[in-house]
Amino acid sequence: MEVRDLHPWPATPEAALAIQDRLRPLLVLDEPGPAEPRTVAGLDVSYAGDGGGTGARLAAAAVVLDATTLDVLEESVVTGTAAFPYVPGLFAFRELPALVEALRGLETTPDLLACDGYGVAHPRRFGLACHLGVLTGLPTIGVAKTGFVGAYEPPGARRGDASPLTEGGEVVGRVLRTQDGVKPVFVSVGHRAGLDDACRAVLDLARDHRLPETTRRADRLSRDALTARPPAA
């Protein structure tokens, strides 16, 4: 699939901040997104060891699922090293180079991208899901395991219960219970998707587990790539 080259990969936090500022106006946040996507791609990155610092070994995976059956239609995985340091709010720049290559390895162009991370629920309203949405032009949402910014009241205990995630008086996402009595996930819009449709998609993808199947499959693929033996010479 096509991913646009809109900027070089930055070497410093200052350069990364400038890229976020330049790309943020390209976000489309007033579209509802696909109400019934046929295909959804899950994206995730795994790290060897503690994943800290530059030079950490990583694997980025993109897995395309049939949105109705949740069957895997296509997979792409790329291994490499993190070239950008860990900086809160700029974590996407550690993962984007490999994720972009994984996406380019797909023949399928999915109807929706579901990232393991944040969209506008971000200090500068430009998390990983926003960045990937702008680069691909595709509807993109973020589904995070833990909160990053904002305040919220705990949602009810039943599947589908939700509460707004707010920061500075602005709703930046939703805290969504995907299974009865389990910890919620944090859903935010990335690009060309509405929050209602994003939450509906997450529930459709999380039929039996806390995390959506897109995240689970991409996580498994990336972890397997890190532990795979290299081919014999």
What string of pLDDT tens digits covers the 233 residues of the chain? 999 999 999 999 999 999 999 999 999 998 888 889 999 999 999 998 765 667 789 999 999 999 999 999 999 999 999 999 989 999 999 999 999 999 999 999 999 999 999 999 999 999 999 999 999 999 999 999 999 999 999 999 999 999 999 999 999 999 999 999 999 999 999 999 999 999 999 999 999 999 999 999 999 999 999 987 654 44
Task: Transcribe 144-172 into DSSP letters.
Answer: ESS--S-B-PPPPSSTT-EEEEEETTEEE
What are the structure tokens assigned to 115, written together?
Answer: 């990232």
Q: How much is the pLDDT for 233?
A: 44
Express the helix, strand and coil content of the chain in percent, nearest 5 each: 25, 25, 50
6 part of a folded domain: no
CA of residue 134 relative to chain centroid, distance: 13
In a domain, 40, yes or no: yes
Is the residue at 167 inside a domain?
yes
Q: SS3 of 131, please? A: helix
| In a domain? residue 58 | yes
Environment class of 81 (CB within 10 Å of its CB; exposed 0-12, middle 13-18, buried 19+) = middle
Q: Is 138 contained in some domain?
A: yes
Closest CA to 37 of 110, 103, 91, 92: 110
Structure tokens at 2: 């096509």
Q: What is the pTM of this model?
A: 0.93
Reference 177, options 194, 193, 162, 192; nearest CA is 162
In the chain, how many domains are there? 1
Whether 176 is in a domain gets the answer yes
Does the annotation place 44 within a ligand binding site? yes
Bridge partners (DSSP) of residue 58 are 47, 80
The whole-number pLDDT of residue 229 equals 60
Range of the domain at 219: 13-18+26-227
Q: What is the CATH number of the domain that holds 114?
A: 3.30.2170.10
Let me know if residue 132 belongs to a domain: yes
**What does the pLDDT read at residue 49?**
72
Q: Are 228 and 169 in contact (CB under 8 A)?
A: no
Compute the distance between CA of residue 62 and CA of residue 198 in angstroms, rounded to an integer: 19
Task: To the nearest 10°, report the CA torsion of 88, 93, 99, 100.
Answer: 150
Please report whether residue 47 resides in a domain. Answer: yes
Res 31: pLDDT: 87
